[in-house]
Structures are given as structure tokens and as C-alpha cells.
Amino acid sequence: MKPQHIVVIGAGIVGAASAIWLRRAGHEVTLLDRGIPGMGASYGNGGILASCSIVPVTGPGLTRKSPVYLADPNFPLFLRWRYLPKLVPWLVRYMSHANEADTRRISQGLTTIVGDSLEQHQALTAGTKAAKWVQESLYSFAYRDRAAFDADSFAWQLRREAGFEPEIIQGQDVRDAEPILGPDTTLLAVMKNHGFILNPGSYVKDLVELFKDLGGIFIQTEVKDFELGGGQISAVDTSTGRIHCDKAVVCSGVWSKPLMAKLGLKVPLEAERGYHILFKEPSQRPNNPMMLAAGKFVATSMEQGLRCAGVVEFGGLSEQKSKAPLEFLRRKARESFPNLTYASQEEWLGYRPAPSDSLPLIGQLGETGVYSAFGHHHIGMTGGPKTGRLVADLISGNHPNADIRPFEPMRFAGTNT
């Protein structure tokens, strides 16, 4: 296919990766973002290249258990109740997938996007200044005891079926592997061939600089609309003027929903509010990133300090932080790392783009020449490079070496939600 002019909308990890792979394929590429690259959800995540993160939140039994979880101060699920009436239509669709058959189907789709995450990040950055941010590591799931690990047996069954087999460490060996952990953690399930990003914000900024070094153009502007002639895109209208193009890629995270609506596609997507607390100048750091199972949050040693990130809160795009999720993170961090001290702490709130079926939208909207690449829920940083490569292949006329049917964006055509 001859080179085309592609406009990529959104300069987070997915947009940056898409722009780089498109440029490497020989296309003229313009990358747009209303903000500074890497400062959205790509900035505040846990930074783990979690190839084994293939189990959706909507596991079997969630419908029955969720009222109990919401009332439990020791479970990381929160709701801003005044937002509930607006959330209900999406929530009904979301919870409809909380069964074994759908969980297995979703898990298989997620494996396609994240299963080789470390290799995809390394391929994206090889020989560039961005490579320094990509660190190889183990990835541990920390449990109170064997019974807590066994209670997660269905999730581990799905991971094993996808080729992820943990090494189990118990007793005093846990403290030898991770001295930061307190005595309440007595089992680690350790995954090999994982990694993490040492500074997610700086990583994405360096990726955008790499894109520019490859001859790409970045413009800070806000996309307002699309110009379609005969059903095919011909231009993108922005706050600073019209940009003519042959194709466009929408990878603006949760802000992709209103852009899709302009093209006639109503995507059932909500903002899942995610939090992190950065402990600066910590007295201790984990040797490898870990998931603290009791609090469903991750702890990653980063350039800026120790970042504890996670929690699920539904409450829309309000910029106001909720006290309860942050207090939950602090409490669970104290319980997990009882000897940790630090100089100061920094709080952050961001918005994960959560489709009602927990699968990203990757592909062309009909024959419009507009491609979607958003909706990665918890796996944006992990799956961004693979998504970018898939999009570049589709636009370049190359058949992707993966089954991308689960991510078909037109699966939501005709929805009223």
C-alpha cells in the first residue's frame, strides 16, 4: 500500500506507539493531543508490563458479591453514589459478563494484546533513548496465606491455560525474596518474563520525541469533529484548524467516546477512576513489582519513588478526588509494608477507559477510514505497543498475525447505551 497521511488522536502510550509504527511503515503521520504527551492515564498507572493480567474484573459471581464488596471497607471497590443513575445502563451491560463463559472469552482476547508485552515494548524502543525506561523483572502476587491464594484458583487457572505458571514461595522465603513485606504476607506467586516502566510519564514523552525524530509531526490541539465525504474521512477539524488526511486513528482513552459519537457509534464506555500514591524517598523498595492481593493494588519501585496504584471507583470524570480510595491505599500500604517510611507523598487520580465488555476497540469503523484503538481498561500501558503495531498493520494492508475479531469496534453498532 502506498504511503498515506494518517492523523493519530491521543498522545498516550497507545497513540505514541501507533504513531511510531505507522511512521516506521512509511506513512506521513500527525499526532494530536489537547494536553502534554504522557500526562493522562499513561502517566499514573502502576507501570507494570503485566503480561499475565488477562483476568477481567467481571469474574463469575461478581453480580452476587458486588453489594458486599461495596460495603466492605477492606475491598477496593468504590462508587460515587450520586453518579449511580447515570452509571446504571452501562453497569447492567458490564455485569452481564460476570459469568464463566464470558470471562474465558474476554481473557483469551486480553491475552492477544498483553501476552508478549515485554517483547513488544522492547521492539518499540530498541536502539532509542526510550529503551532506558523499560526494565525486565519478575512480577509477584503477594497473598496472606495459601488459603487466600487458593481462593483465586479460577484466575490462576486462566493464567495457566494462557501459559503463565507461577513459582510459589512460602514462609520465611517470602521475606528473603521481598524484605519490604511484613509478616502478614506468607505466600508469593512469582511470574517470570515480565517488566515495568521506570517512569511512565517520561517514557511516553520520550516515545513522542522518538516519533518526531522519525519525521512525525506533533500538534497540541483539541479535536472537534471529522469531515467525511462519501462516507470516507477526508479531514479532522481541530481547535486550531482543519487537518486533511487519508486515515485517522482515535486513541484518546475515555475521551474517545464523544469522538465516536460524532461518527455515529455509541460506545458503552465509562471512566473507571484509578488512584495512585507516590511515596517519595522511601526507606524500602520492593525488589520487583508486586500485586498485593489483599488490597488489589500494585507496588512498583520507580524513578520518583515507590508508587502504589490501583483501586476501582465509578464516578464519572469529576476531577475531585475521593477520600475513601486514597485512605484505603494508605492503610493497605501500611499493612503490607509495616516498616516503610518516606519523606513525602503525592496523590493522583486518572480515568481508565472501561468498555462494558472489558475488551478494547481496535479496528476500522466500517469503511470510514477511521480506526479505533482505545478502551484498554487496566492494561493500557501493558498492551499499548501491541495495539499500535496492530493498527499500523491494518492501515498498511498487512494481515495481523493475531485474531483481532474480539476487538471489532462495530460490535457496538446499534447500541442505545
Please say which residue of 320, 335, 355 terminates a domain.
355
Are residues 255 and 229 both part of a single domain?
A: yes
Nine cell digits for residue 110: 486480553
Are residues 187 and 277 both part of a single domain?
A: yes
Residue 76: the pLDDT is 76
Are residues 59 and 129 both part of a single domain?
A: yes
Look at residue 343 and tell me if it is in a domain: yes
| Residue 286 CB partners (closer than 8 Å, separation 6+) | 140, 178, 180, 299, 300, 301, 306
Please say which residue of 335, 355, 375 terminates a domain.
355
| Residue 304 CB partners (closer than 8 Å, separation 6+) | 199, 278, 280
Residue 73: the pLDDT is 73
**What is the domain-level CATH number for residue 319?**
3.30.9.10
Residue 416: the pLDDT is 53
Q: How many domains does the chain have?
A: 2
Are residues 262 and 276 both part of a single domain?
A: no
| 30 neighbors 6 (Cβ within 8 angstroms) | yes
Nearest alpha carbon to residue 380 among 155, 48, 7: 48
CA torsion sign, 116 to 120 to 126 to 131? negative
Determine if the pTM surpasses 0.85. yes
Residue 415: the pLDDT is 60
Which residues partner with 166 through β-bridges?
Answer: none
| Residue 259 CB partners (closer than 8 Å, separation 6+) | 9, 223, 226, 250, 252
Nearest alpha carbon to residue 412 among 232, 233, 226, 257: 257
Look up the domain containing 161 and give its range.
54-112+124-193+269-355
Q: Which residue do the cell numbers 483501586 mark?
A: 311
- The counts of H helices and E strands in the chain are 13, 19
| Residue 163 CB partners (closer than 8 Å, separation 6+) | 115
* 245 phi/psi in degrees, rounded to 5: -160, 165
Are residues 297 and 241 both part of a single domain?
A: no
| 165 neighbors 194 (Cβ within 8 angstroms) | no
Residue 267: the pLDDT is 96
User: CA torsion 241→244→250→254, rounded to 10°?
Assistant: 10
Give how far the C-alpha of residue 68 lies from the chain's centroid of Cα atoms, to the nearest Å.
Answer: 26
Look at residue 118 and tell me if it is in a domain: no
Please say which residue of 340, 355, 370 terminates a domain.
355
| Residue 295 CB partners (closer than 8 Å, separation 6+) | 76, 310, 328, 329, 332, 333, 335, 336
Look at residue 152 and tell me if it is in a domain: yes
Would you put residue 224 in left (φ > 0), alpha (ψ -120 to 50) or beta? alpha
Look at residue 417 and tell me if it is in a domain: no
> What is the C-alpha to C-alpha distance for residues 266 and 308, in angstroms, rounded to an integer?
34
Nine cell digits for residue 197: 516502566
Question: ∠ CA 29-33-38 to the nearest 5 degrees?
Answer: 100
* Helix%, strand%, coil% for the chain, nearest 5: 35, 30, 35
Nearest alpha carbon to residue 37 among 66, 71, 68, 9: 9
Are residues 87 and 233 both part of a single domain?
A: no
Are residues 67 and 170 both part of a single domain?
A: yes
Residue 77: the pLDDT is 80
Are residues 322 and 279 both part of a single domain?
A: yes
Are residues 257 and 210 both part of a single domain?
A: yes
Are residues 277 and 264 both part of a single domain?
A: no
Residue 411: the pLDDT is 94
Are residues 240 and 154 both part of a single domain?
A: no
> What is the C-alpha to C-alpha distance for residues 168 and 115, in angstroms, rounded to an integer?
21
Residue 269: the pLDDT is 96
Look at residue 180 and tell me if it is in a domain: yes
**What is the domain-level CATH number for residue 371?**
3.50.50.60
Look at residue 347 and tell me if it is in a domain: yes
Look at residue 119 and tell me if it is in a domain: no
Strands 297-302 and 290-292: what pairing? Answer: antiparallel
Look at residue 378 and tell me if it is in a domain: yes
Are residues 136 and 225 both part of a single domain?
A: no
Q: What is the mean pLDDT, run by run of 10 residues, along the chain of 417 residues?
A: 92 97 98 89 90 93 77 78 90 93 96 97 97 98 97 96 97 96 97 96 97 98 94 96 97 96 95 94 97 93 96 89 93 96 96 95 97 95 97 94 93 72
| Residue 230 CB partners (closer than 8 Å, separation 6+) | none
> What is the C-alpha to C-alpha distance for residues 193 and 95, in angstroms, rounded to an integer?
32
* Other C-beta atoms lying within 10 Å of the C-beta of residue 17: 30
